[in-house]
Amino acid sequence: MPPGTEWSAAADRRFDVNLSILFTELPLLERPAAAAAAGFTAVELWWPWADSPTPARSELDGLRKAIENAGVRLTGLNFYAGRLPGPDRGALSLPGEESERFRAHVDVAADFAGSLGCTALNALYGNRVEGVDPAEQDALALENLVLAAGAADRIGAMLLIEALNRPESPRYPLVSAPAAVEVADRVNAATGLGNARFLMDLYHLAVNGEDLPAVIERYASMTGHVQIADSPGRGAPGTGALPLEDLLGRLRTAGYTGWVGLEYKPGDRPSAEAFDWLPREARAAR
């Protein structure tokens, strides 16, 4: 079967490219145009400045201009989470300086996202810290997530809560769909805003061994964003064993009509060559 044939019906889906894992062979400001050249009209990002929750205005303006000039839409942005990929997994539940840095960052991220019409902000929960009571971290996390939800609501955006996988993130406490959804429910109960949603990353959930059709059936209505990569390997669809076309079909049947983020590694090839599974006409959002 020719590459992409099984995905020919995907044109009614809205795919975006995560520029923090794809096109990383290029400087940051060149990636939006590269995604556009590959046929995509939307992108998402982890917080691009791993060491700076509050970068200089010139850096924010430079990235904003690059996205606008490329003619792509920013659909999702992570709040500051430290070094990704790497040992860090979020700052909002870390006591002390990191939590303070997160608080100083929240409005900066929201203002940047809002200026580009971004409608989803992802808040990674943060690792457990040795010697700190998990209950203390959870209380701090809820406090900071309430702050983040308010900032997201101000720009008309969702706050996303993501489950990661235990093998790659052993100190991250949200390693199942129910755990992430429970946190989103707590945030909604605390704020009354109702804008905290589940980020359903099918790769992470698969590595955790979850029953993906059951997760979709149970949590599609609570899902604000979906991300995909094949497993094992976190490569492009077709490089592993996940039935991603079937799973996205199940999501569509369950009523999910939001964005599907391509958050996979390109492998030993330029990122522009890592989309042969998806027909070009299916890359531009409709």
Tens digit of each residue's pLDDT (9 = 90 or more) over 172-193: 999 999 999 999 999 999 999 9
Q: What is the mean pLDDT of residues 236-262?
A: 96
279 belongs to a structural domain: no
Q: Tell me, what's the pLDDT at 7?
A: 65
**Dihedral angle of Cα 120, 19, 84, 172, to the nearest 10 degrees:** 40
132 belongs to a structural domain: yes
143 belongs to a structural domain: yes
252 belongs to a structural domain: yes
Q: Which of 44, 98, 210, 263 is catalytic?
A: 263
Whether the per-residue pLDDT at 71 is higher than 70: the answer is yes
58 belongs to a structural domain: yes
Considering the chain, what percentage of its residues have pLDDT values greater than 90? 89
Domain count of the fold of the chain: 1
Whether the per-residue pLDDT at 254 is higher than 50: the answer is yes
226 belongs to a structural domain: yes
Q: List, in sequence order, every residue forming a beta bridge with 69; answer none if it has no partner.
A: none
pTM of the predicted structure, to 2 decimals: 0.95
CATH number assigned to the domain comprising residue 211: 3.20.20.150
How many C-beta atoms lie closer than 10 Å to residue 168's C-beta? 14
285 belongs to a structural domain: no
Give catalytic status of residue 44 as yes or no.
no
d(CA 13, CA 17): 13
Tens digit of each residue's pLDDT (9 = 90 or more) over 199-235: 999 999 999 999 999 999 999 999 999 999 999 999 9
How far, CA to CA in Å, does 25 sit from each of 35, 60, 157, 268? 12, 21, 30, 11
Considering the chain, what percentage of its residues have pLDDT values greater than 70? 95
Give catalytic status of residue 210 as yes or no.
no
Whether the per-residue pLDDT at 3 is higher than 50: the answer is no
Confidence grade of residue 169 (pLDDT, cut at 50, 70, 90): very high
Q: Tell me, what's the pLDDT at 1?
A: 30
Q: Tell me, what's the pLDDT at 53?
A: 95
Q: Which of 162, 168, 210, 273 is catalytic?
A: 162
Q: Is the peptide bond before 53 cis (omega within 30 degrees of 0)?
A: no
Alpha helices by DSSP H, listed for the chain, are 31-37, 57-70, 97-115, 134-154, 177-191, 202-207, 212-219, 244-253
Domain that holds residue 210: 5-274
Whether the per-residue pLDDT at 2 is higher than 60: the answer is no
Give yes or no for a contact between 200 and 159, defined as CB atoms under 8 angstroms apart.
no
Whether the per-residue pLDDT at 86 is higher than 90: the answer is no
Tens digit of each residue's pLDDT (9 = 90 or more) over 261-274: 999 999 999 999 99
Tens digit of each residue's pLDDT (9 = 90 or more) over 117-156: 999 999 999 999 999 999 999 999 999 999 999 999 999 9
154 belongs to a structural domain: yes
